[in-house]
Amino acid sequence: MDQQIFVQMVLHAWNINIKRAEKFFDSLTDEELLKEVAPNRNRVNYLLGHLIAINDNMIGLFGLGNRSYAHFDEVFVKNPDRSGLDMPDTATLKNDWKKSNAELTSYFNKMTPQDWFSKHNAMTEEDHIKEPSRNKLSVLINRTNHVSYHLGQLVLAK
């Protein structure tokens, strides 16, 4: 019961921030999606791809299945904006954002509180015994803060 409420709290914060970001992306024209958030800083389309890649990474980290956007890591995580690497066009990115969130929601809805409190794949059994507060749910708390961090930057492009 307590665990259920706690999972709800964390998922609620995640969903609110994802919806805020989606509302923002939907409000932009294709041209605005190519704007920088501030002079010489990341462009909106780069941050959009970056958020898709980092969020999609949870599928692997939580052992939920095969990642859908692992091919985004090279251009949107391992390299900075304007690396010269090919980027999907803005319409594709906007659509991928929705697809990726729908997929994550579908996975998350199948997870039990026990799943959320279990260890993720980047830690050992010993790590988890020593620090049970490091678990899948704590990763989602961090990822929510990560969305929020970049959303703060994104709104400056408007």
Nearest-approach distance from CB 53 to a second copy, in angstroms = 17
In the block, which residue shows the tokens 């659509």?
Answer: 95
117 belongs to the binding site for a second copy (CB under 8 A): yes
CA angle 86, 38, 44 (to 5 degrees): 35
Tokens representing 138 are 């704590």
# chain residues binding a second copy, by CB under 8 A:
32
Q: Which listed range, 61-69, 70-78, 100-108, 132-140, lies at the site for a second copy (CB under 8 A)?
A: 132-140
10 belongs to the binding site for a second copy (CB under 8 A): yes
- Of 88 and 147, the one with the shorter C-beta distance to a second copy is 147
Q: Which listed range, 65-73, 77-85, 104-112, 148-156, lies at the site for a second copy (CB under 8 A)?
A: 148-156
Backbone angles phi, psi at 36, to 5 degrees: -85, 150
CA angle 101, 106, 108 (to 5 degrees): 90
Q: Which listed range, 5-13, 65-73, 78-86, 90-98, lies at the site for a second copy (CB under 8 A)?
A: 5-13
Comparing C-alpha atoms, which of 75, 25, 35, 31 is closest to residue 53?
75
In the block, which residue shows the tokens 């990726």?
Answer: 100
The C-alpha atoms of residue 74 and residue 65 are separated, in whole angstroms, by 20
Comparing C-alpha atoms, which of 82, 83, 24, 88 is closest to residue 53?
88
144 belongs to the binding site for a second copy (CB under 8 A): yes
34 belongs to the binding site for a second copy (CB under 8 A): no
Residues at the interface with a second copy (CB under 8 A): 2-3, 5-6, 8-10, 12-13, 17, 37-39, 41, 117, 132-133, 135, 137-138, 141-142, 144-146, 148-153, 156
